């Protein structure tokens, strides 16, 4: 029986103790419980794009004096190297231009520095100068403008930029050596045909370093000369390419007061370093001159079949083989079918000539028999009417010298 209790004389059942309410939780979908994770994940994914849009992709106006035209780069490359620029080589230039437009000038300069190794033309160095000026790196800006002027002394964009930026420092090479210049990183610039006066001081280890850029095509023979202006100095000279490879070997003057000279035929538009010191710690004043010898003939550049010089039948060509790397291509059109005679005559006793012939499709038609040094070549070639044929004149055994050519 249920228990009872007496209240005011009356009995009534004892109340059951209150039961604790149990709260039931409903299992909500995870998407509802963690709704905040969805926008967070979307933000994480889109953050790089948002950053680029806000900070890197903004469309800045081109920097004043910056050259954006890729066609200009291609034209200068042809002018300064004699070759057409591979379109793929402009990728880095275009990327640098994009970064410049985005206002990312530091990264644009990094990309353009890499491009300059493959496209060493004034416009690229001009743009580097503009970028470095914008990020307040005056030393690199001046170096870049200098590299442009070394290739073209009167390059108008650089001259205009220097004037607009009110850069008082001159970039034209001084007529006197500027110390310190004891290694290639501190080398003084030397322009062709502009002598520099310098001195080896009477201290152990003094070395003077200079750099120069070879001229634009046609490829020429270059003379580097150190003329001693002291009765004590025995000058010694080394020439290095831009990769640090020794080009000359060790060149030393024969006696105190004597000079030393080295002639070579480097590629066009290429950087070289000159180091001068004194033999046996000798010292004294000297003059350094870098000169183009204009050893090429009037038909250069014609070193490839695609740049062959057109000549007429009966025309006498007076030309020369400048060095062992020099070769001359010519082309002619025969007005009638038959046989033409090709005469190539050496004008010295040492030049050993060679002659190659090529069909209109550029395929070889054979070579003339090899003559002895100093002898002429007389060769016959069968031709079709109104077809373009090609000739190649070259030398053997590293011989050089003048020659004449006639097709008749």
Domain range annotation of the chain: 70-164, 184-292, 305-407
Gap between the Cα atoms of 359 and 387, Å rounded:
9
Q: Is residue 57 very low, low, confident or very high in pLDDT (cuts 50, 70, 90)?
A: very low
Gap between the Cα atoms of 240 and 373, Å rounded:
33
Are residues 184 and 273 in contact, defined by beta-carbon separation less than 8 angstroms?
Answer: yes
How many Cα atoms within 13 Å fall on the side-chain side of residue 59? 0
Q: In the predicted model, what is the mean pLDDT of residues 194-205?
A: 90
Phi, psi of 242 (to 5 degrees): -70, -15
- Classified by CATH at the fold level, domain 184-292 comes out as Jelly Rolls (2.60.120)
Q: Does pTM top 0.85 for this prediction?
A: no
Is residue 64 classed as helix, strand or coil in its secondary structure?
A: coil
What pLDDT does residue 265 have? 93
Q: In the predicted model, what is the mean pLDDT of residues 139-164?
A: 91
* pLDDT greater than 90 at residue 41: no
| 305-407 has CATH 2.60.120.380 classification | yes
Gap between the Cα atoms of 90 and 71, Å rounded:
10
* 285 DSSP assignment: E
Are residues 234 and 226 in contact, defined by beta-carbon separation less than 8 angstroms?
Answer: no
Are residues 353 and 397 in contact, defined by beta-carbon separation less than 8 angstroms?
Answer: no
Six token digits for residue 308: 């062959």
CA distances from 28 to 21, 25, 31, 37, 207 (A): 21, 9, 8, 16, 82
Helix (H) or strand (E) holding 164: helix 156-164
Are residues 98 and 62 in contact, defined by beta-carbon separation less than 8 angstroms?
Answer: no
**Cβ-proximal residues to 22 (8 Å cutoff; 6+ apart), any chain:** none
Is residue 113 classed as helix, strand or coil in its secondary structure?
A: helix
What pLDDT does residue 179 have? 85
Q: Thinking of the domain 70-164, which architecture would CATH place it in?
A: Alpha Horseshoe (1.25)
Q: In the predicted model, what is the mean pLDDT of residues 120-146?
A: 94
* pLDDT greater than 70 at residue 19: no
Q: Do domains 184-292 and 305-407 have the same CATH topology?
A: yes
Using one digit for the tens of pLDDT, what is the confidence trace for 101-120? 999 999 999 999 999 999 99
User: Which residue bears the tokens 């249920």?
Assistant: 2
Q: Whose CA is closest to 75, among 130, 15, 30, 122?
A: 122
Q: Which of 24-28, 282-286, 325-329, 388-392 has the lowest mean pLDDT?
A: 24-28
* pLDDT greater than 90 at residue 278: yes
Per cent of the chain over pLDDT 70 is 86
Six token digits for residue 266: 């480097």
What pLDDT does residue 16 have? 55
């Amino acid at each position: 029986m249920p228990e009872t209790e007496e209240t005011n004389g009356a009995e009534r059942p004892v109340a059951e103790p209150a039961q604790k309410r149990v709260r039931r939780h409903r299992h909500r979908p995870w998407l509802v419980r963690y709704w905040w994770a969805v926008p967070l994940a979307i933000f994480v994914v889109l953050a790089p794009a948002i950053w680029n849009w806000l900070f890197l992709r903004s469309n800045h106006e081109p920097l004043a004096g910056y050259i954006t035209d890729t066609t200009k780069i291609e034209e200068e490359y042809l002018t300064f190297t004699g070759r057409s620029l591979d379109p793929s080589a402009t990728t880095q230039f275009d990327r640098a231009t994009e970064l410049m437009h985005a206002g990312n000038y530091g990264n644009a300069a990094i990309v353009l520095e890499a491009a300059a190794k493959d496209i060493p033309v004034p416009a690229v160095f001009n743009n580097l100068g503009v970028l470095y000026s914008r990020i307040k790196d005056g030393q690199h800006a001046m170096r870049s403008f200098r590299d442009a002027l070394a290739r073209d002394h009167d390059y108008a964009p650089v001259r205009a930029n220097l004037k607009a930026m009110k850069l008082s420092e001159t970039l034209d090479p001084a007529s006197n050596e500027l110390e310190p210049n004891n290694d290639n990183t501190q080398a003084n610039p030397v322009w062709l045909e502009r002598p520099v006066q310098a001195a080896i001081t009477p201290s152990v280890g003094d070395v003077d370093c200079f750099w120069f850029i070879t001229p634009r095509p046609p490829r020429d023979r270059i003379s580097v000369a150190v003329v001693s202006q002291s009765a004590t100095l025995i000058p010694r000279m080394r020439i290095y390419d831009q990769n640090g490879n020794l080009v000359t070997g060790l060149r030393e003057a024969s006696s105190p007061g004597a000079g030393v000279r080295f002639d070579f035929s480097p590629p066009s538009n290429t950087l070289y370093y000159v180091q001068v010191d004194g033999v046996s710690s000798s010292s004294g004043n000297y003059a350094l001159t870098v000169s183009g010898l204009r050893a090429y003939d009037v038909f250069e550049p014609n070193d490839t079949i695609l740049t062959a010089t057109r000549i007429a039948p009966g025309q006498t060509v007076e030309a020369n083989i400048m060095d062992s790397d020099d070769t001359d291509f010519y082309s002619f059109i025969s007005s009638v079918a038959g046989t033409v005679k090709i005469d190539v005559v050496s004008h010295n006793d040492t030049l050993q000539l060679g002659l190659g012939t090529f069909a209109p499709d550029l395929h070889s038609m054979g070579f003339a028999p090899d003559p002895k040094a100093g002898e002429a070549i007389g060769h016959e070639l069968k031709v079709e009417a109104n077809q373009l044929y090609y000739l190649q004149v070259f030398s053997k055994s590293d011989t050089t010298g003048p020659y004449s050519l006639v097709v008749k």
